[in-house]
Amino acid sequence: MKRKVVVALYVAVLLLVFGQTGFAQEAGKLGIGARVSYVNYSGDDFINEHDERVNIDFDEFAMYGLNVTYFFHKYFSTELSVDYAKTDLWVSGTFRGVATNEIEGEFTQIPVLLTGRLHIPVNNIVSPHVGAGVGYYFNDYDPTAAADKVTVDDSFGFHVNAGVEFFFAENYAVNLDLKYVWNDVDFPDPEDQTQEISMDAFVAGIGFKYYF
């Protein structure tokens, strides 16, 4: 009896791993998903008009977003994603003759990314991918001090991507997604010169997707 149970379980596992041909992505498949991500900006520094070095850093934070994926081929897809992020901007160093290390304002960013992805299916359930893409970033900055007139421009960036998708049903999948983003952002100051701040970022996300 035990032997029959073991055989039955073995067959069930084989069917799960190899028999679900509908789980894998196919050309023409469309997916809609949601994702939450951990984001870590690189931070930057600059020399101000008083010849002082000023350091710019950002708190690590969670980012939330939606995405749409379309498969042109079972090995190639594109993903369009829109996310929302908000974090504190810190200024440290010597600033206008005064040593400082404080929150200078709140930075908000809405990245709109287009990513091309090359898929390397392991089987019909597990599908790793690598990719690259471009993005447009809607940026907003709210200074802590009312007298602070610093603003921020929108920006354009590039990214590389790696991840894996796990199908647990024919139309449902969970995914892990890693990105590295290159993005420089201008912060105009009417009382000083415009500063270009490097906001390169490491992004790690987990999401859920439904395929039609």
pLDDT tens-digit series, residues 21-71: 445 567 788 999 999 999 999 888 877 777 788 888 999 999 999 999 999
Question: What percentage of the chain reaches a pLDDT higher than 90?
Answer: 58
Residues 108 and 62: beta-carbon distance below 8 Å:
no
Amino acid type, 120: I
pLDDT for 195: 84
Residues 190 and 174: beta-carbon distance below 8 Å:
no
Predicted TM-score of the model (pTM): 0.81
User: Domain containing 137 — which CATH number?
Assistant: 2.40.160.20
Q: Domain of residue 142: give its range.
A: 2-211
Identify the band that residue 190 occupies on the pLDDT scale cut at 50, 70 and 90.
confident
Nearest to 157 by CA among 186, 194, 118: 186
Is a pLDDT exceeding 70 seen at residue 9?
no
pLDDT for 140: 96
Number of domain units in the chain: 1
Residues 43 and 56: beta-carbon distance below 8 Å:
yes
Using a 10 angstrom Cβ sphere, with 0-12 exposed, 13-18 middle and 19 or more buried, the burial of residue 178 is middle
Nearest to 122 by CA among 23, 211, 12, 207: 23
Give phi and psi for 170, each to the nearest 5.
-60, -40
Residues 14 and 125: beta-carbon distance below 8 Å:
no
DSSP 2: H
pLDDT for 25: 64
Helix, strand, or coil (residue 122): coil
Amino acid type, 117: R
Helix, strand, or coil (residue 129): strand
> What is the token pair recorded at 206?
């987990």
Average pLDDT over residues 147-175: 92
pLDDT for 185: 94
pLDDT, the chain, mean: 86
pLDDT for 7: 42
Give phi and psi for 32, each to the nearest 5.
-125, 130
C-alpha count within 13 angstroms, C-beta hemisphere, residue 37: 29
Nearest to 105 by CA among 91, 118, 92: 91
pLDDT for 45: 81
Question: What percentage of the chain reaches a pLDDT higher than 70?
Answer: 87
Amino acid type, 136: Y
pLDDT for 148: 78
Identify the band that residue 147 occupies on the pLDDT scale cut at 50, 70 and 90.
low
pLDDT for 15: 40
